[in-house]
Amino acid sequence: MLITYFLGGEWTFYGITFFIELFVSELLFLMTQRKKKHFIFRLAGVAVIFFLMFLFFPPFIQNTFPSLKENLVAIYSYDTFYFIIIFVISFLAMMLAFDESIWNILFCCVAGYCVQHAVFLIYDVFVIAINGTGIWKNEFFRFFVEMLLNIPFYFLFAHRLTKADCINVGSKDIVLFSLSAVIINIILSLWELYDTRTTTTIVFEELYSIACSILILFLQFSVFLKYKI
């Protein structure tokens, strides 16, 4: 059952691609920062842990709580917990790989999550706008396009971080505020999945969520540039 779920389970596939997208988005902001020894091996080890998590965790939950699918509140709570856990583990992974303070890494992970979230929804809105079918519904194609959509975010934000940069003490509050805003954005976005709405409502909600993610990025980097050493 586990193998069948892993090979054919759409949610597990999405979980894996979500992790890869989040990892890439976070690395956009962190790659110029100081790395710990055996950096590649550390990242590889974390990737293995994530692979095992996506292989066993969703089937374990489904087998342990078979009635979960019948309760929308339970599904919503599980999904919220699932995505927050992914973010927390990705943050811990970056702590293992980079020789930076917790604030530097948290700053970059929050920014990375905002990018991933915005990119995911930008693709959604575009497909709805063109009434896309066929290849536009293909998850592998979607993954490829979303990887490309990281590029403009790199030039807008990530390239401003250099090896000489750090997150100054004065900007810690804004990091915590941004983290709180991201968590709220996760919760609201997941709730939308289980609420019946018109296509127009979906588009406006997703545009709002995109705007929130980009505003968080602008807020982070405006304060960062102010306190930059």
90 vs 172, higher pLDDT: 90
What's CA 58's distance to the chain center, in Å?
18
Q: What is the share, in percent, of the chain residues with pLDDT greater than 70?
A: 72
Q: Are 174 and 223 in contact (CB under 8 A)?
A: yes
Q: Are 186 and 80 in contact (CB under 8 A)?
A: yes
178: its two tokens: 């941004």
162 vs 107, higher pLDDT: 107
33 dihedral zone (left: phi>0; alpha: psi -120 to 50; beta): beta
Please tell me the distance from the alpha carbon of residue 219 to that of residue 148, in angstroms, as a whole number. Answer: 24
- Domain count across the chain: 1
134 dihedral zone (left: phi>0; alpha: psi -120 to 50; beta): left
pLDDT per position as a tens digit, 119-132: 999 999 999 989 88
Find the domain containing 92 and state its range.
2-227
Please tell me the distance from the alpha carbon of residue 113 to that of residue 135, in angstroms, as a whole number. Answer: 26
Query: Angle at CA 112, nearest 5°, toward 179 and 86?
Result: 70
88: its two tokens: 């927390």
Please tell me the distance from the alpha carbon of residue 211 to that of residue 155, in angstroms, as a whole number. Answer: 18
**Alpha carbon of 8 to those of 55, 63, 78, 103, 117: distances in Å?**
12, 16, 20, 39, 24
pLDDT per position as a tens digit, 160-183: 877 655 565 456 777 888 888 888
Average pLDDT taken over every residue of the chain: 79
pLDDT per position as a tens digit, 60-79: 666 666 665 666 566 666 77
Q: What is the pLDDT of residue 188?
A: 74
